[in-house]
Structure formats: C-alpha cells, structure tokens
Amino acid sequence: MRDKDFDLSVHSGIKTNMWWTELKAALGQRINVEGLVSSLGFFSKDKHLAIPHVSVKDISYIDWVELKRRGFEGVVFDKDNTITVPYSLNLWSPLASSIDQCKSLFGNNIAVYSNSAGLDEYDPGGRKARILERVIGIKVIKHGKLNLLFQFCGNVSLLMSQFT
C-alpha cells in the first residue's frame, strides 16, 4: 500500500523505473539477440551439445526408464512451455506423473534452467527460483545471463557436480 503523504522521489531524490524493468523482462525473454549471436560460434564447434537428445510433444511422452537404461545420468528441463505454462511457478498438472517417474529414476540429478526463474536480471534475489523449487521439488540453476548455450553447459556441469 502506498502512503499518499510520502513520495519517495520528493523526499529522497530517488526515482524508480520499474516500468522499464518489467518491459525489459517481457521483451528480453522473447528476443535474445546476444544469445543468438554468441551461440552461432558455439554451434559450429560443439554441434552435438546443441542438438536435443529427445524431441517429443511434451515430457509425458518420454520413456524415463529407457533413458536411464541408455546411460543418461541426469535431466535438465527448461521451465516455460516445458514443465510450466509461461511465467507460471506451478507444474503443468498433466506432467505430474512423468515428473515423479523422472525424479524416482534420476534422484537429485534433475534441474531446471530458465530465462525467468533463476536468472538474476528477471529474478533478482532468486525469489521465483526458490518458489519453483519448493512447488515442483526440482533444483533451479541460478545464473547471471540469458541462456547462452556455452554458459548453460558450464552452469549445468557445475550444478550437477554439487549434487554428487
């Protein structure tokens, strides 16, 4: 609630630009020019890391037992449009049994990497990441820049080494 008799800009000389932060967050999650440009060089060197290992309509179509049998040691999910609807901090309910099966097979070797929850620029202090972790029971990788592929691989390696 805002006190009508107290205006921060009048009393302290501080003006806030929350509208700019919110606009930047909304646009920045849709267009990642820096990520596109930086990833081109990475794709030419380590193309095998950029190619999805599995492509399905949604994760309920993944045979987690088969992935484990084939030697997969962990799983990293994107958040928006993969395990949640965009900007939601709740698991998309039709995926609950698939996520539970994945957790039972891969244990702590599961993480979420997102350009919304866990990204310093759009989730300062990690509040959304903590809520998401509590709600879905999967660790969220905290990071400082938009999802650049080479940075993603380093962050995931560091995170997964902390789980073991």
21-70, pLDDT tens digit by residue? 676 666 665 665 555 555 566 556 666 655 666 678 899 999 999 989 98
CB distance 77 to 138 below 8 Å: yes
Tell me the pLDDT tens digit for each residue of 108-131: 999 998 888 888 888 888 899 999
Q: Tell which wins on pLDDT, 141 or 105.
A: 105
Annotate 136-158 with b (16+ C-beta within 10 A) or e (fewer). Answer: bebbbbbbebbbbbbbbeebbee
How far is the C-alpha of 5 from the C-alpha of 52, rounded, in Å?
56
pTM, 2 dp: 0.61
Q: How far is CA 65 from CA 28, 68, 139, in A?
A: 36, 5, 21
Quick one: pLDDT at residue 92?
94
